[in-house]
Amino acid sequence: MKIKDFNSKLDQMFPDAKCELNYNKDYELLIATVLSAQCTDKRVNEVTKVLFNKYDIYSLSKASKKEIEDIIRSCGSYTKKASYIIDISNNLVNNYDGHVPNNREYLESLPGVGRKTANVVLSNIYNIPAIAVDTHVERVSKRLKLASKKDSVFEVEKKLMKQIPENKWSRTHHQLVLFGRYICKARNPLCDKCLFYNDCQSKDKKTRS
């Protein structure tokens, strides 16, 4: 499959792809992305609506862990994530007056923040070309043979960056997330709605009638 065809089909399926996490400030996106680990964006948006109505970055840095846990409980791993939120807020307040810096090394040093989260933040806040590989992007990439089954998340990212033009990295990331979330699902993929049907060799592929 030619990469031009690949991007063209994604454009047809998801012409208006964008981040589905709701946020108004840079730190809100960072915290929402941390909360999204093993949790749906829909659930995170419900939780952050309450969280960010009650706290800003400064009050979060001084918040009670128990109060944060009570708000984010439905996101899973709430004890760990509550600690992350308070620690991240403290770091941002003490080091950058509450703002999220354009600094990958710093972001990845924060508790609960890995390469994927840093990519999401840098791409959406600072328009830095990046491909954040979550479970959806990883699954789609491997099903379409853009990466090997044995590849790590970082190896998948590197292969996608090599094949996709840099000016399309961020857009393609959002499209692949939506593609994996709504069509090329882990279970019961909607193959009848997929423009990559003839390119896909996944064992989960369904026969079209």
pLDDT band at 1 (very low <50, low <70, confident <90, very high): low
Cα separation, 59 vs 204, in Å, equals 47
Query: In this structure, what token pair is assigned to residue 153?
Result: 């998340």
Q: Say what the pLDDT of residue 202 is.
A: 75
36-56 pLDDT, tens digit each: 998 999 999 999 999 999 999
pLDDT at 100 over 80: yes
Q: Which residue do the tokens 């939120």 mark? A: 85
Q: Which three-class secondary structure string do you get for 33-101?
A: HHHCCCCCHHHHHHHHHHHHHHCCHHHHHCCCHHHHHHHHHHHCCHHHHHHHHHHHHHHHHHHHCCCCC
3-14+132-199 carries CATH number 1.20.1440.230: no
Where do the structural domains in the chain lie, given as residue ranges? Answer: 3-14+132-199, 26-126
Contact criterion met (CB below 8 Å) for 57 and 87:
no
Catalogue the active-site residues. Answer: 116, 134
Please give the model's pTM, rounded to 2 decimal places. Answer: 0.90
2 vs 163, more confident: 163
Spelled out in words, what is the top-level CATH class assigned to the domain 26-126? mainly alpha
